[in-house]
């Protein structure tokens, strides 16, 4: 095992890696930008080096600087986390060329999986199913009909120059094809000045199901189970779970074998994830491979008992996986993760910034908090709005949902708007509880999940609470006002006005009505 490792990341994932290092007896070296000088990951590491100003391009994305720090501190390995430089083949290569160990797949494997088209070709070569489609524009309706017959209906007609749903048509029966093709061509011509149209198989109500894989450097490759990440907004995952309601043991085995085959074709090593679309009939199609640790890895850790980040380090250090090829990992229990982001669901998920004035974390059985925030910390616009991941583990899915609801209810984050209540609404939603979701589900249900009407009972309780607070202000206004004002709450009063929130409120009122 390494004696010292550089953590080339920030926030919760840096902390996650530092924790793994500490448990394995590896000294961790954190890097940080000037904006992160007081961040938890800096304090929890054994050593920490400032690498530049707040913008990522001047700090966390400076590959040469990171390698320089690794050398100067005597680190033997570099863990990139996710995001930033984690999937940059050039950085993996530069780390290797500097005589350091890259905790991840070889640069060549990152490259092979790096572009969607190259990965698709690689997958096809390895016998991995991809969404069937043509790559040349259709000549006429007869050609379209022939291809559709081969793929099976429904099919999707798609403008070559496409985007935004224009020039797209779902065709469910042969009889509709000619008219749909003409319409798609017209739309494509009007929208893009190019009427070429492709055809691909239309996947009905697909789920996003991905397979976690682990490959060591001694030829062993394992699929260690699936995660379902269908709750997405604008292709951003919000909630992940393991296992998936849609995956049977038999399907798990087949998807696992497929994922391992894709990894082998790319010469993979270390931890990775193959993403698939899963249709209603249990057919799955390869989308892409993520050549790094994933945000949502904890749900797999919960149901398999494997510490994936520790295994990343062990594999990079040359250890063998202690499992035979083809070992099947049956999930134990059910795990759910909610991404707690600094976004305001009631306001179109606008990012929210400010100082975290109060933080109360959920605890108790089966609750895990992977976070990079603390009270007093500043949420800025420099980095990703994800504050933390709240993860629960329970024997069954209904119990896991109840546990997540309970944990979210305990969580208090004051100072920035967060996605907490949005997650509560999802946990309460009958579709989610029934596992009846697809990747379009969230977008379709967004209004009722992001800004639902407040129940009358809650409103009455809030009215009583507000009246009691007003009553208290009346009895001792001067000191109450000071005690209750939350100065740095972002949208509220500036700090120096905290002592006299009444007068401030009065001034604001005056401003507002003028």
Q: Of 169, 227, 252, 292, which is the active-site residue?
A: 292
Among 105, 375, 138, 77, which residue's Cα sits nearest to residue 215? 105
Q: Catalytic residue at 292?
A: yes
Cβ proximity to other proteins, 189 vs 236, nearer residue: 236
Cβ proximity to other proteins, 154 vs 452, nearer residue: 452
CB of 166 to other proteins, least distance (A): 19
Take residue 10 and report the two structure tokens written for it. Answer: 């920030």
CB of 356 to other proteins, least distance (A): 12
DSSP state letters, 307-367: -HHHHHHHHHTTPPPSS-TT------SEEEEEEEESEEGGGTTEE--EE--EEE---STTE
Cβ proximity to other proteins, 352 vs 438, nearer residue: 352
Cβ proximity to other proteins, 109 vs 485, nearer residue: 485
CB of 62 to other proteins, least distance (A): 18
What are the CA-CA distances from residue 55 to residues 61, 62, 313, 371 (Å)? Answer: 9, 11, 29, 21
CB of 105 to other proteins, least distance (A): 26
Contact 98, 6 (CB under 8 A): no
CB of 200 to other proteins, least distance (A): 28
Rounded to whole angstroms, the Cα distance separating 189 from 58 reads 43
CB of 443 to other proteins, least distance (A): 16
| Residues 366-403 as b or e (16 or more Cβ within 10 Å = b) | bbbbbbbbeeebbbeebbbbbbbbbbbbbeebeebbeb
CB of 457 to other proteins, least distance (A): 8
The three-class DSSP label of residue 513 is coil
Cβ proximity to other proteins, 245 vs 505, nearer residue: 505
Q: How many CB atoms lie within 10 A of CB 255?
A: 24
CB of 472 to other proteins, least distance (A): 6
Cβ proximity to other proteins, 44 vs 473, nearer residue: 473
Rounded to whole angstroms, the Cα distance separating 129 from 246 reads 18
CB of 449 to other proteins, least distance (A): 13
Name the region of 75 (left: φ>0; alpha: ψ -120 to 50; beta: rest): beta
- Residue located via tokens 């379709």: 444
Give, in degrees to the nearest 5, the angle at Cα 70 between 64 and 75: 155
The three-class DSSP label of residue 139 is coil
Give the start-end residues of each E strand in 177-309. Answer: 197-201, 207-215, 221-233, 236-242, 270-278, 284-290
Among 400, 442, 441, 416, which residue's Cα sits nearest to residue 340? 416
Rounded to whole angstroms, the Cα distance separating 35 from 22 reads 25
Q: How many CB atoms lie within 10 A of CB 110?
A: 25
Cβ proximity to other proteins, 179 vs 462, nearer residue: 462
Cβ proximity to other proteins, 121 vs 409, nearer residue: 409
Q: How many CB atoms lie within 10 A of CB 443?
A: 10
Cβ proximity to other proteins, 40 vs 385, nearer residue: 385
Largest CA distance in the chain: 83
Rounded to whole angstroms, the Cα distance separating 323 from 343 reads 42
Rounded to whole angstroms, the Cα distance separating 268 from 92 reads 13
Sites of contact with other proteins (CB under 8 A)? 344, 347-348, 350-353, 357-358, 360, 381, 383-385, 408-409, 412, 414, 421, 424, 454-455, 458-474, 481, 484-486, 489-493, 501-502, 504-506, 508-509, 512-514
Cβ proximity to other proteins, 324 vs 454, nearer residue: 454
Take residue 430 and report the two structure tokens written for it. Answer: 């009958």
Rounded to whole angstroms, the Cα distance separating 333 from 335 reads 7
CB of 352 to other proteins, least distance (A): 6
Take residue 222 and report the two structure tokens written for it. Answer: 């394992």
Among 407, 422, 412, which residue's Cα sits nearest to residue 375? 412
Catalytic site positions: 292
């Amino acid at each position: 095992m390494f004696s010292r490792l550089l953590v080339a990341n920030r926030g919760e994932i840096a902390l996650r890696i530092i924790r793994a290092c500490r448990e394995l007896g590896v000294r961790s070296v954190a890097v940080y930008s000037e904006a992160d000088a007081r961040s938890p990951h800096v304090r929890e590491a054994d050593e920490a080096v400032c690498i530049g100003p707040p913008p990522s391009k001047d700090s966390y994305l400076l590959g040469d600087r990171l390698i320089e720090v690794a050398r100067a501190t005597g680190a033997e390995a570099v863990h990139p986390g996710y995001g930033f430089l984690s999937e940059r083949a050039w950085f993996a290569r530069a780390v290797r060329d500097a005589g350091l160990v890259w905790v991840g797949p070889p640069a060549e494997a990152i490259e092979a999986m790096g572009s969607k088209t190259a990965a698709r070709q690689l997958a096809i070569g390895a016998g991995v199913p991809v969404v069937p489609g043509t790559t040349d524009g259709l000549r006429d309706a007869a050609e379209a009909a022939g291809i559709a017959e081969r793929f099976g209906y429904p099919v999707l007609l798609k403008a070559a120059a496409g985007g935004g749903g224009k020039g797209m048509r779902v065709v469910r029966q042969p009889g509709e094809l000619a008219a749909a093709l003409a319409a798609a061509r017209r739309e494509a011509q009007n929208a893009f000045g190019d009427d070429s149209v492709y055809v691909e198989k239309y996947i009905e109500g697909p789920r996003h199901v991905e397979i976690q894989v682990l490959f060591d450097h001694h030829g062993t490759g394992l699929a260690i189970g699936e995660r379902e990440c269908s709750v997405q907004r604008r292709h951003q995952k919000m909630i992940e779970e393991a296992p998936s309601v849609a995956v049977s043991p038999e399907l798990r085995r087949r998807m696992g074998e497929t994922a391992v085959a894709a990894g082998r074709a790319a010469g993979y090593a270390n931890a990775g994830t193959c993403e698939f679309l899963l249709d209603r009939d249990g057919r799955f199609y390869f989308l892409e491979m993520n050549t790094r640790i994933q945000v949502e890895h904890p749900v797999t850790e919960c149901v398999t008992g494997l510490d994936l980040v520790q295994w990343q380090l062990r594999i990079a250090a040359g250890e063998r996986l202690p499992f035979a090829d083809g070992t099947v990992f049956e999930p134990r229990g059910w795990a759910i993760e909610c991404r707690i982001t600094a976004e305001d669901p009631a306001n179109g998920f606008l990012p929210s910034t400010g100082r975290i004035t109060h933080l109360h974390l959920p605890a108790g059985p089966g609750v895990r908090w992977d976070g990079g925030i603390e009270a007093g910390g500043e949420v800025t616009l420099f980095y990703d709005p994800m504050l933390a991941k709240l993860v629960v583990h329970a024997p069954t899915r209904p119990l896991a949902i109840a546990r997540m609801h309970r944990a979210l209810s305990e969580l208090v984050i004051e100072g920035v708007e967060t996605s907490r209540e949005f997650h509560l609404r999802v946990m309460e939603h009958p579709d989610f509880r029934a596992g009846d979701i697809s990747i379009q589900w969230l977008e379709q249900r967004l209004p009722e999940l992001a800004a639902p009407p407040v129940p009358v009972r809650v409103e009455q309780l809030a009215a009583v609470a507000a009246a009691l607070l007003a009553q208290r202000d009346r009895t001792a206004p001067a000191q109450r006002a000071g005690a209750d004002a939350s100065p740095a709450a972002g949208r509220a009063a500036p700090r120096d006005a905290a002592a006299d929130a009444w007068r401030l409120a009065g001034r604001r009122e005056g401003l507002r009505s003028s």
